[in-house]
Structure 1
Amino acid sequence: MQASNKTVIKSMKILKLFLTHAKLSFNDMMEHSGIPKTSLHRMIRSLEEMGFLTKDEDGYYSLGLLFLQFGQLVADRLDIRTIARPFMKELRDDVEEAVHLIVKDGNEAMYIEKLDTPQPVRLYTSIGRRSPLYAGDSRIILAYLPKEEQEAYIETAELKPVGMGTITDKRMLRQLLDEARENGYAVTRSELEDYTASVSAPIFNGQNQVAAAISIAGIEARYREERLPELIVKVKETSMKISKKLGYSF
């Protein structure tokens, strides 16, 4: 474990050299890092194979295109958080429930922003929390993925129960996804935590693709049928306000 940690630290030391240098030769990296030649050669080869470094025809190394993908992903998420937060605050203050901002991260969903409820009983959710795409308020993202991508996910996913209301039947999941896409929102109950409920809506970017989701979530007792129409209208209005700011045209 310690050896692995040392390798990671040394690899980061190599990559950090490119914060101040656009290109470096092998000898440059050896001089600046102080890492022995054999170890450096092995680490550079691994970084090349993973796409973190690339080597040009003159033998100089630079950061790989993988960093552009990571950089764009981070920038997009930071932009969404910055843009969404004032609208989330307005929604939270209006309905007095927790409001979440959720994005797709690989085959999971991740909560990247949360504004908590002023109510004394609160949900156990936090920024950085992950959840399966098929369950709870993140399911609205799955509903708006391209059909091929959505079906590929469903085919390979193991629908494990998380809360007592988690959907574990793929036929039922497909039906709920179709309904959510047709209606523009999703209502879930006890799917990620027992006795909780959520109302969620999709957020779209300038390419008219689903970029995130916004949800109102709380204790199920506060989500009675007579209150749902109001919450649905408000979460959909908020999702459209954020989508407009992201360049979505509809």
Structure 2
Amino acid sequence: MNQSVIKALKILNLFSEETQELTLKEIATQSNLPKPTAYRLLQSLEEMGYIIGHDGRYSLGLKLLELGHLVSHQLDLRQLAKPLMTNLAQSINEAVHLVVLHGDHATYIEKVESRRALRLYTKVGKSAPLYKGSGPKLLLAHLPQTEQMRVLPDESLIEEVEQIRQQGYAMSVGEQDLDTTGLSYPIYNHSGNVVAALTVSGLSSHFEGDHLTFIKVETKKTADEISRCLGYAKKEGHS
């Protein structure tokens, strides 16, 4: 474990509703750190926006508010989407995932299993590059082009990403797991921004013919319903 990180987090944990400001001496004493070490850590935390120092006293910075808002948003999204994801999984009998953008990667923040005996191993918290899999690629397709160019390892993928944006969904075969197919549709928030991908996945043999058509229809319907619950009003030009 990185001891410097642990010490810095220890300092952050000193603050609470009852203790919103602390002096350097109080921080050093309560965290059992030498004053120079506590000061050095406070300087680093302040530089990153996690701590604000003023007139010899320290309080939590706005960066934590930003991170808290992101966590709160993801929790709200999960709670809202979970019942609809469960209905979709029961309807199509495939695994259903909720995927969000997290830096230069996509993170799976919710999952509902299928009823099949053979299940895909995709755990909540899994991270994937934005150019690998239907969910990550869908999120990538809705980023500004400058961001796409920055994370794409191969310019030959630009055309595929643009096609995903135009057609309104992404489909991948064998990109994350052998013999599996993923299908993803966008989830929009009240501002019309894509905030997540609703992804269904299973053995590629299940994603064929009439059943594939059924999966597409049901998945899009569910993604649209989650978007509606987030306050999205469909605009002309969005599929």
TM-score exceeds 0.5:
yes
Moved more, 64-73 or 223-232: 223-232
Task: Give CA deviations for 1:176-210 in whole Å, capped at 9, x if unaligned.
Answer: 22222222111211111110001110111122111
Q: Which amino acid aligns with 1:128?
A: G
Aligned to 1:197: 181
Equivalent of 1:241, from 200, 204, 225? 225
Distance 1:46 1:233 in 2: 51
Task: Give CA deviations for 1:206-225 in whole Å, capped at 9, x if unaligned.
Answer: 22111010111000111113
Residue identity over aligned pairs, in percent, reads: 39
Following superposition of structure 1 onto structure 2, how do residues 100-111 of structure 1 map, counting pairs within 5 Å? 100-111=97-108
**For structure 2, which runs of at least 5 residues remain unmatched after alignment?**
235-239
| In the alignment, structure 1 residue 61 sits paired with structure 2 residue 61 | no
Deviation at 1:121, TM superposition (A): 1.3
Q: Secondary structure at the match of 1:102?
A: strand
| In the alignment, structure 1 residue 216 sits paired with structure 2 residue 200 | yes
**For structure 1, which runs of at least 5 residues remain unmatched after alignment?**
159-168
Q: Quick check: 1:144–1:202 contact (8 Å CA) kept in 2?
A: no
Q: Secondary structure at the match of 1:187?
A: strand
Aligned to 1:127: 124
Q: Secondary structure at the match of 2:184?
A: strand
Q: Quick check: 1:184–1:236 contact (8 Å CA) kept in 2?
A: no
Distance 2:81 2:192 in 1: 17
Deviation at 1:34, TM superposition (A): 3.3
Moved more, 179-188 or 29-38: 29-38
Q: Quick check: 1:121–1:219 contact (8 Å CA) kept in 2?
A: no
Q: Which amino acid aligns with 1:119?
A: R
Task: Give CA deviations for 1:124-159 in whole Å, capped at 9, x if unaligned.
Answer: 1110111111121221111122333223333xxx3x
TM-score by length of 2: 0.91
Aligned to 2:190: 206
Moved more, 66-75 or 26-35: 26-35
| In the alignment, structure 1 residue 175 sits paired with structure 2 residue 159 | yes
Deviation at 1:68, TM superposition (A): 1.4
Moved more, 16-25 or 126-135: 16-25
Moved more, 198-207 or 81-90: 198-207
Moved more, 66-75 or 30-39: 30-39
Following superposition of structure 1 onto structure 2, how do residues 153-172 of structure 1 map, counting pairs within 5 Å? 153-154=151-152, 158=153, 170-171=155-156
Task: Give CA deviations for 1:20-41 in whole Å, capped at 9, x if unaligned.
Answer: 3222221232343332222222
Task: Give CA deviations for 1:48-87 in whole Å, capped at 9, x if unaligned.
Answer: 222221112x222111121112111111111110010000
Q: Secondary structure at the match of 2:14?
A: helix
Q: Secondary structure at the match of 1:197?
A: strand
Deviation at 1:230, TM superposition (A): 1.4
Task: Give CA deviations for 1:88-116 in whole Å, capped at 9, x if unaligned.
Answer: 00100000000000001111111001111
Alignment coverage as a number of residue pairs: 232
| In the alignment, structure 1 residue 34 sits paired with structure 2 residue 18 | no
Q: Which amino acid aligns with 1:40?
A: A
Moved over 4 A (4+): none
